[in-house]
Chain A
Amino acid sequence: MLAYLLMSGIATGALYAMMAIGLVLVYRSTGHINFSHGELFMFGGFIAYTFFVILGVPYFLSLILAVIGGFVLGILSDRAVYRPLIKAPPLTMVLATVGFSFFLKGIARYFWGSMEGGDYVAFPAAMDPSPIPIGSIMVFPQQLLILAGAIVFVVGFTIFFRMTRAGKMMQATSENPTAAYLSGIRVERVYTLTWGAGSAIAAAAAVLMAPMTLLSPDVGFQLLLKAFAATVLGGLGSMPGAIVGGLLVGILESLGGGYVHSGVQDVSAFIVIIIVLILRPAGIFGVRNIRDT
């Protein structure tokens, strides 16, 4: 029981971590929180649904197409929404991205919402759904796929950050935008890339998750809350914190759901957020900010 719960907790936690990475990426480079991040996730899921279910494209190809689609959507969003407001106060950006999130949600509902009657569409299993035994525990293949996918994306991301020119520019920009600008980095481009990358990784998470659950236009907000919980737990702005935070939230709600009450899954996110923000607003890995004057 414990092993099984841990396994499923780690799998969902990996998804939360992927979402949280996107949020943190954007926060670190721009200082903004993207409240439409959940809807970018949801859109990625529906893009994959369109290819996989409606057009009959294979799962893995749909995954890649959704990631590309997510990246493009992120870039378009940057042009339309984020870039004009990049220097605006947080309040303005939050209002704009909240508005944008509903706009995207409405569009998704319009196109995909009533496809299968209700608001939900089923995303068929990508592979044989029957659980396989590993040692003494039963594991769903999709869980393994999620883990593998999450590891591939996180590792790929790290390599991108550390090794490539674009990645280094992103890191330089997030550490010191002015210095980056002065040394010839086109900061706006980097921001665009950042939003695009965050959106792409959210899309990947959606496609990995979809076969385990149903897909609906409202799913984005649920995941956004979990990602918020992960980032708050890990400390807003910390990349390792996001990953650890995501896994912790996943494990916590899986264990809570198994041993305490099945409703824990619904409430885990906001309980974590509220408790962490009250007790230790800087998170586990965060550093307390020096007060600005």
Chain B
Amino acid sequence: MQALLARRNIVAVGIIVFAILPTFANAYIVFVANLALMYILLSVGLNMLLGYAGQLAFPNAALFGVGAYTSGLLRLEFDLPYWITLPAGAAFATLIGLAIALPALRLRGLYLALATIAFAQAALWVFGHWNSVTYGGAGFRVPPMDFSPLPIDPPTGIYYLSLIIVLVAVPLGWNIVRSRIGRAWVALRESEVAAETLGIDLTRYKAYAYVVSGLYAGTAGALFSALLGIVTPESFDLFQVIVHFCMVIVGGIGSLWGGVLGAVILVGLLEVLRTFRDLQEIAFGGLLLFTVLVVPGGAIAMIKRYLPGWNEPLRRIGKKR
């Protein structure tokens, strides 16, 4: 019975549900499911930086914004198709991610947190004040994606595009953490000195973490601008940071599948409280605090304790010994 609840089965059911959802659910449910897909990307990306590599950095919401602004503006100003705007948004966010990584690599712990939180605020300020490009505080509308010649309406198109991206991006991330890269990240998280004396180049592997999480955040941002059809600075403020943190922590820090779970669970809460900023803040702030204090391993730690088939080795499982 418990074996039925193994991860592979749950994930399979999840994929099927997501795949057939638009055939029976109403537009709003599909929209929320689409948000969930987007947050899965954000959560997986942030987990690699924060959970695996242990870098106490806040750039994620800003890079999410960079992805959204880049792809949205390319769509608006140059009328480019999604298969250009999307990779462009992702690529530019990755580039910016690398750009912050360069100075950030010299910093550790609290100094890193301070520097990247400053960067996040700087990015937000640019979004809100570079009027000639970003349209300032009011933001701009993004023309809907055009999927022609495919006979798909934009919301359905974006939904399935998001699903396909998630179905590719999560396994890719899963492969990365189950290799020497994932092990190097965990090693430098636990002890930089020990990692270094085992031959791990700290600078390089931290940079990898920034770049990969930037790529995921930028991709999510590009989807976000198409999904909402409007890009404004406040979508990428500090509250967005805490939503991402919450998904990673509540799901399980340092657990890729925990982060996926966290994103799916918390998107519902975020939506229910959509119009109540204060309650959103209380709920997400409180939940983050509660998890750190009471269940530091997050939901995935409880699942791993009671169900088989959820463990996450940091290597490929080859032949049984």
Contact = CB atoms under 8 A, between A and B. Distances in A.
A and B touching (C-beta < 8 Å)? Answer: yes
Nearest to B106: A281
Interface residues of B, number: 44
Contacts of B282: 102-103, 106-107, 110
Given A106-B279, A277-B103, A270 B239 contact: no
Q: For chain B, what secondary structure do more than half of its interface residues adopt (helix, strand, loop), or is it mixed?
A: helix
A103 B286 contact: yes
Interface stretch (A14-22, A65-73, A84-92): A84-92
Contact of B249 (A81, A95, A236, A277): A95
A99 B125 contact: no
Interface string A144-164: 000000000000000000000
B285 A99 contact: yes
B113 A92 contact: no
B180 interface: no
Contact of B285 (A84, A101, A269, A292): A101
Nearest to A105: B281
A95 B111 contact: no
B121 A270 contact: yes
- What interface size band does chain A fall in? 35 or more
Interface in B257-286: 277-286
Contact of B289 (A99, A266, A293): A99
Interface in A95-136: 95-96, 98-107, 109-110, 113
B242 A273 contact: no
Contact of A236 (B110, B125, B279, B288): B110
Nearest to B112: A277
Interface of B: 50, 54, 56, 103, 106-107, 109-111, 113-115, 117-119, 121-122, 125, 129, 193, 238-239, 241-242, 245-246, 249, 277-290, 292-293, 296
Interface of A: 33, 81, 84-85, 90-92, 94-96, 98-107, 109-110, 113, 217, 221, 225, 228-229, 232, 236, 263, 266-267, 269-271, 273-274, 277-278, 281, 292-293
